[in-house]
């Protein structure tokens, strides 16, 4: 059944499927949820192929980005599956983390722990500068970053460029408490390529840019490359800030090392790395690269634009802050010794 946004929901149970090479089907298991081969492809029957074949009824996130390990969630029901112009999209109801959004077999958010990511990637940069007015979000089609940006009363304009319209529509249908960010009148939604969008932006347009990207494979790959960061720096005002998703210190230090190196060459203000815990992300943590352009100095470790309980119900934010506070802001920049050594070495 399709709604007005063109999103088709799948509400039935998913039949058990043998590994693809066998080419036959089994009956539903006792949970009414399938186990199929682990893959980022969708077959002609439109069954999601990234459900674990190891334990029936469980989703397992397997990727070359984290070889030799997988995080699994028990699936109650598949709610949606589709293939956009760019990627496979799935939503399922989990037993313990609520509804889950999956892109190309990789968990993007769950209802239970999305607050840790959305609040930190937004408030780490916006609470580090005074009076931000114009904010750009690259990616973030689920609307969660928009929801958090809308807490800041100084912000007058929120632009978002998301490449995949299906992600926006699916999020509005299945994650209304996240996608509520799209309802803010300050938000201007642009469906298109974030790299091209930034190139067309006038120099010095934004006070802050938040890059809410998926991993550096597929449609998000360009968002981790040096030319993109150069475009970001050009689009920021003097003393403007950027915060970008920057992978896991447990799994991707080689990627983080490259990001830090590129950013130290491009951004002449501050360059810092922060991290937070998100249980359903690979290794349970995710990092953020925070940079500022040359101009008024920015000390990311000490917030100057606090957001507190009085701001919690402002504008379209339907709920209080669940994760972010000023103490955890400063603590996010404290790195374990192995990561600190690598990141600090790039400052030399």
DSSP run (H or E) holding 117: helix 114-126
Question: Which distant-in-sequence residues (6+ apart) come within 8 Å of 33 by Cβ?
Answer: 13, 14, 51, 56, 57, 75, 76, 77, 78
Position of tokens 């760019």? 86
Give yes or no: 308 in active site.
Answer: no
Among residues 104, 164, 212, 215, which one is catalytic?
Answer: 212
Q: Per the structure block, which two tokens stand in for 56?
A: 């029936």
| DSSP state at residue 274 | E
Q: Dig out the tokens for 30 from the structure.
A: 């006792």
Token pair belonging to 174: 């299945």
- What sign for the dihedral angle of Cα 138, 141, 142, 148? positive
C-alpha distances out from residue 298 to 15, 101, 131, 335, Å: 54, 34, 13, 19
Cα gap 260→326, rounded to integer Å: 24
- What are 69's two structure tokens? 């390990």
In angstroms, rounded to a whole number, what is the distance separating the alpha carbons of residues 202 and 327?
36
Please tell me the distance from the alpha carbon of residue 282 to that of residue 69, in angstroms, as a whole number: 9
Residues 6+ positions from 4 with CB-CB distance below 8 Å: none
E runs forming strands in the chain? 38-42, 48-50, 58-61, 71-83, 88-94, 99-103, 106-110, 134-139, 157-162, 187-191, 206-212, 236-245, 271-277, 285-292
Nearest to 231 by CA among 261, 206, 212, 260: 206
Residues known to be catalytic: 212
């Amino acid at each position: 059944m399709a709604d007005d946004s063109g999103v088709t929901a799948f509400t039935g149970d998913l039949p058990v499927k043998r590994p693809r090479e066998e080419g036959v089907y089994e009956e539903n298991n006792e949970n009414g949820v399938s186990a199929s081969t682990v893959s980022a492809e969708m077959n002609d029957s439109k069954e999601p192929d990234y459900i674990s074949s190891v334990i029936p009824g469980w989703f397992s996130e397997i990727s070359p980005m984290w070889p030799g390990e997988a995080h699994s969630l028990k699936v109650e029901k598949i709610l949606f599956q589709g293939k956009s112009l760019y990627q496979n999209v799935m939503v399922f109801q989990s037993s313990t983390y609520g509804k889950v959004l999956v892109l190309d077999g990789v968990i993007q958010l769950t209802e239970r722990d999305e607050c840790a990511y959305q609040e930190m990637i937004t408030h780490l940069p916006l609470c580090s500068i005074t009076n931000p007015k114009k904010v750009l979000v690259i990616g973030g089609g689920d609307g969660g970053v928009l929801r958090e940006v809308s807490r800041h009363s100084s912000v007058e304009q929120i632009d978002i460029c998301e490449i995949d319209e299906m992600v926006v529509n699916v999020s509005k249908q299945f994650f209304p408490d996240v996608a509520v960010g799209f309802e803010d009148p300050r938000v201007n939604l642009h469906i298109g390529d974030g790299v091209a969008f930034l190139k067309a932006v006038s120099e010095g347009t934004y006070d802050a840019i938040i890059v809410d990207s998926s991993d550096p494979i597929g449609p998000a790959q360009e968002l981790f490359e040096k030319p993109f960061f150069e475009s970001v720096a050009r689009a920021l005002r003097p003393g403007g800030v950027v915060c970008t998703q920057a992978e896991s210190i447990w799994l991707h230090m080689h990627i983080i090392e490259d990001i830090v190196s590129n950013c130290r060459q491009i951004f002449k203000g501050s360059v810092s790395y922060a991290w937070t815990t998100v249980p359903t992300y690979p290794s349970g943590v995710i990092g953020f690269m925070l940079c500022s352009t040359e101009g008024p100095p920015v000390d990311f470790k000490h917030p100057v634009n606090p957001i507190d309980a009085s701001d919690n119900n402002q504008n379209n934010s339907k709920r209080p802050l669940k994760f972010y506070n000023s103490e955890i802001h400063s603590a996010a920049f404290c790195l374990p010794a192995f990561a600190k050594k690598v990141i600090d070495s790039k400052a030399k």
